[in-house]
Structures are given as C-alpha cells and as structure tokens.
C-alpha cells in the first residue's frame, strides 16, 4: 500500500471531531493508503514534522487551517526531495479549501481529495519565506492572527467579525512606498497591499476571476482608502466584480515584486493568516513552481493552466 501521513492540528477553528478515527482510516485504505496521524502540539510543529519525514512517503495531508498548510509547505520547501501535499480543511476560514471546492463535511472532503489529481503548483515567497495563498498588509488585517482562539473555537469564522468590530476606527493608515514590478520602478501611497495566488481571500470568493495556480505568476493589488466609508465601498465592489477592474486599485500580475516602505510600518504583514515577524523596510516577492499537490478534480480546469 501507499504511505500517507496526516499532520493534524487539533486546535484548528471550531474543535472538529472526526466521526470515528476507524472510519477515517477506512477511507484511506479504500484508496490504497496506509495512513498515520501525527498531531501538532504548537506553532511550528507541522513544519518540523514534514522536514523529518522519510522520502518514501507518498502523500502528506495537512489537516487544519490555512496556517497549518503554510507550515507544511514551508517545511516541504526545505526538503531535498519534495513530498506531495493534500489539504483537508479544518480551520475557521479555510480560504484554500473553499477555493478547491471543499465544504464542511470532513469525510466527504477526504474522499474528494483522494480521488483527485496531482498538480504542480506555484509557491510564492516573501523575503524567501514561502506562502500558500496571500500576504497582505493594512489596518484590520491583524484580525486574521490576533482574534483570540477561544472566540474562533466558539464562533468559527464569525469570530473575526466579532473581534474586528472592536478594532474599527475612522481614519485608515497609509504607507508611502517605492516598488518595482519586473524591474520597472514606481512609487505611491497605499493603505492596503495584497500579494496573492488565490481566487479567494479573507472569505471572499472570486476576488479574481481568472487566477491560475500554476502559471508562475502572482497577483498584486494596491489600494488607497482614507476612511471606513471608502473601505466599505471597496469591499462591496470587491464582492461583485473582479478586483483588478476596480478603478482605485492598482493591479499587476508578475513573478517579481519588490517593495520599500519610506514611512514606518504600523502593523505586521499577515501571511496565510499568521503574523510575519520581524519587521523590515524592504520586501521581495518571488514565485517557484516546485511542489505537487493532490487536489479535487472538479475545479482543476478553472484553477490550473496545464
């Protein structure tokens, strides 16, 4: 039988329970896998676990949220022999899982994944740190990593809104930046910066209508809004049209983006839902197509070029 390791974060989102672990293992056996579950115990565990796996592992399943997947991809990229990864979403928001068409039924998701296709995908980097789907900066972005775990366990995705209401203020910070896209220099003032390789961000589907996860490119969106009213208008537009068509958003698709802040940072980057530390004034974004994922068949034509 093929060998599979499930790296499971028991603290992801609402504390989900697999119906029975025997039924869980039965599904793997049905698709020809001898499976082992390894539970994480804290931040950084998933990265270390995948680094230490044997080269003969056929599949590594990330069972957790987007942050767990980020750790597994980060560990995988440090290996000489990269392993094939699959995502079983158990988190609060599950942007990546939802993008692939997975829902809240864990056992059905597992079957959908195991009968899927192996695709080679782009892995983006911020200052040489891998990320799976988004790196973003701006006011309220910290809700993704600062929302208390007890709220997420009790309310799931709604916890971010509950916490976010407490953070609202009228004025929105803006940053003076210099940046390069494919070696061409620009400058401007922006309050929100998104670098992504996803059609879904922060729970919003179809942010971009034509994202491909294997085209060696990522999307850059720069926005400057001055207050809550302008931000609310932008969010409404983003829920109805392709973000790159919104007039006050500067959009690029590229494989190399450099940014330098000429004014002090007021907050941290949020990378796949987690805080990126330490601060820096300069960041470089690149992309490499060097990892395989087992993904559901249903959306492959929409999400992949090849």
**What is the three-class DSSP state of 114?**
helix
- Decide if pLDDT at 24 tops 90: no
Q: How many helices (H) and strands (E) does the chain have?
A: 10, 16
- What is the reported pLDDT for 162? 47
pTM of the predicted protein model: 0.87
Here the CATH number for the domain that contains residue 110 is 3.40.50.10330
- The predicted pLDDT at position 163 comes to 47
Which element (helix H / strand E) includes 221? strand 218-223
Report the alpha-carbon distance of residue 93 to residue 100 in Å, rounded. 13
Q: Under DSSP, is residue 12 helix (H, G, I), strand (E, B) or coil?
A: coil
Same domain, 284 and 298: no
Rounded to 10 degrees, the C-alpha dihedral 42/44/50/51 comes to -140
| 67 lies in the same domain as 166 | no
The residue range of the domain holding 44 is: 2-122+290-303
Same domain for 259 and 172, yes or no, is yes
% the chain with pLDDT above 90: 51
Which of the residue ranges 147-151, 161-165, 200-204 has the most confident prediction, judged by mean pLDDT? 200-204
* More confident: 286 or 236: 286
Confidence of residue 142 (pLDDT cuts 50, 70, 90): low
Please indicate whether residue 25 or residue 234 has the higher confidence score (pLDDT).
Answer: 25
**pLDDT tens per residue across span 208-246:** 888 999 999 999 999 998 887 887 788 788 888 888 888
In what helix (H) or strand (E) does residue 64 lie, and over which residues does it extend? strand 59-64
**Residues of the chain with pLDDT > 70: what percent?**
87
> Using one digit for the tens of pLDDT, what is the confidence trace for 59-71?
999 998 888 999 9
**DSSP string across 125-148:** EETTEEESSEEEESTTTTHHHHS-
Q: How many residues does the chain have?
A: 306
Domain count, the chain: 2
**Same structural domain, 241 and 252:** yes
What was the pLDDT predicted at 59?
A: 98
Q: What is the DSSP letter of 171?
A: B
Contact 151, 13 (CB under 8 A): no
Whether 16 and 152 map to the same domain: the answer is no
Which secondary structure element, helix H or strand E, spans residue 300, and what is its range?
Answer: helix 300-303
17 or 84, greater pLDDT = 84
* 156 plus 191 within the same structural domain: yes
Task: Specify whether 105 is located in the same domain as 231.
Answer: no
- Give residue 23's pLDDT band: very low, low, confident or very high (50, 70, 90): confident
pLDDT at res. 150: 61
CATH number at residue 184: 2.60.200.40
13 in the same domain as 146: no
Least Cα distance to 11 among 153, 129, 191 occurs for 153
Same domain, 204 and 264: yes
pLDDT at 128 over 70: yes
Question: What is the band of 20 on the pLDDT scale with cuts at 50, 70, 90?
Answer: low
In terms of domains, do 155 and 257 share one?
yes
The overall average pLDDT reported for the chain is: 86
Of the pLDDT bands very low, low, confident and very high (cuts 50, 70, 90), residue 95 is: confident
Q: Exposure string (b/e) for 242-267, b if CB count within 10 Å is 16 or more?
A: ebbebeebbbbebbebbbebeeeeeb
Same domain? 75 vs 145: no
Query: Do residue 137 and residue 117 come from a single domain?
Result: no
- Average pLDDT of the residues in 55-81: 95
């Amino acid at each position: 039988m093929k060998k599979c390791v499930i790296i499971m974060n028991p603290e992801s989102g609402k504390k989900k329970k697999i119906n029975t672990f025997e039924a869980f293992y039965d599904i793997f056996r049905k698709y020809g896998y001898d499976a082992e579950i390894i539970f994480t115990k804290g931040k950084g565990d998933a990265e270390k676990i995948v680094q230490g796996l044997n080269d003969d592992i056929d599949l590594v399943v990330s069972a957790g949220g987007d942050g767990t997947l980020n750790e597994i991809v980060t560990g995988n990229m440090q290996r000489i022999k990269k392993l094939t990864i699959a995502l079983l979403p158990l988190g609060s928001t599950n942007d990546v899982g939802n993008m692939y068409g997975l829902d809240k039924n864990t056992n059905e998701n597992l079957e959908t994944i195991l009968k899927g296709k192996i695709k080679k995908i782009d892995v983006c980097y911020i200052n040489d740190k891998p990320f799976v789907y988004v790196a973003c900066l701006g006011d309220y972005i910290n809700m993704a990593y600062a929302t208390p775990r007890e709220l997420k366990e009790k309310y799931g995705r709604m916890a971010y809104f509950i916490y976010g209401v407490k953070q609202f203020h009228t004025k929105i910070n803006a940053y003076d930046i210099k940046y390069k896209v494919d070696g061409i220099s620009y400058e401007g003032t922006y309050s929100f910066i998104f670098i992504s390789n996803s059609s879904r961000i922060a729970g919003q589907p179809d942010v971009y209508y034509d994202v491909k996860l294997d085209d060696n490119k990522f999307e850059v969106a720069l926005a400057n809004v001055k207050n809550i009213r302008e931000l609310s208008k932008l969010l409404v537009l983003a829920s109805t049209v392709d973000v790159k068509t919104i007039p006050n958003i500067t959009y690029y698709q590229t494989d190399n983006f450099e940014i330098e802040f000429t004014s002090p940072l007021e907050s941290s980057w949020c990378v796949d839902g987690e805080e990126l530390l330490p601060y820096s004034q300069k960041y470089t974004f690149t992309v490499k197509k060097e990892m395989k994922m087992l993904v559901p068949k249903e959306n492959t034509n929409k999400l992949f070029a090849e």
